[in-house]
Chains A and B, each alone.
Chain A
Amino acid sequence: DSGVTQTPKHLITATGQRVTLRCSPRSGDLSVYWYQQSLDQGLQFLIQYYNGEERAKGNILERFSAQQFPDLHSELNLSSLELGDSALYFCASSAPGLAGAAGELFFGEGSRLTVL
């Protein structure tokens, strides 16, 4: 158990719809990262938040948005869904500023989104 919690674990929806994925980071972690993993693909970085502020952005579509709340949980919003958005969406968190811990991400179990 990584300590990162993601809900829901599975989600099936139709094209054109909107969904929200939720992530609770490990206790004490300030950074939250969102990654997308499509079938047989590696993990594509979407976006990072640090203590409520957007820190880095990857190839995140304009139809997708995210935010991190004061209690540090994060939500990834996916709208106008297309078939190609079907994927595993992972949230990860990392500890703030630990020497030698740079890049050590702890991943949740992912949310599997299926768009029909």
Chain B
Amino acid sequence: GQQLNQSPQSMFIQEGEDVSMNCTSSSIFNTWLWYKQDPGEGPVLLIALYKAGELTSNGRLTAQFGITRKDSFLNISASIPSDVGIYFCAGQLEGGSEKLVFGKGTKLTVNP
């Protein structure tokens, strides 16, 4: 249905390592977005993807809109301590309203 399956649920990595997380669904999405939430804050948009196959970078972050339009991944290269937080994927369903459906998040911990 409209569920977004986001994995992994949590990650513990060393500073400098690369990170990869993804979202999948059985539904087709027109838009994929990746948000980061710091403790006590609202989610902040990192990357927005609008076309199947689109690969977009924002600094050390790279995200791709899957060809099937049912998945997306986010990579973080050379992680630093301030990358700590919860990363959410979100999608706008094909034929749906403007609302976003969110994954349950990936909690990232970076050890210095």
Contacts and interface: CB of A to CB of B under 8 A. Distances in A.
Nearest to B48: A104
Interface stretch (B13-21, B72-80, B93-101): B93-101
A42 B43 CA distance: 11
B43 A43 contact: yes
Contact of A103 (B33, B41, B44): B33
Given A33-B99, A55-B97, A41 B44 contact: no
A110 interface: yes
Interface residues of A, number: 29
A107 B43 contact: yes
Interface string B85-107: 00010111000011111111100
Interface in A1-51: 2, 4, 31, 33, 35, 41-45, 48, 50
Enumerate the 5 nearest inter-chain pairs by beta-carbon distance, A residue then B residue, closest first: A107-B42, A56-B97, A42-B104, A103-B31, A43-B102
Interface of B: 6, 30-31, 33, 35, 40-45, 48, 50, 88, 90-92, 97-105
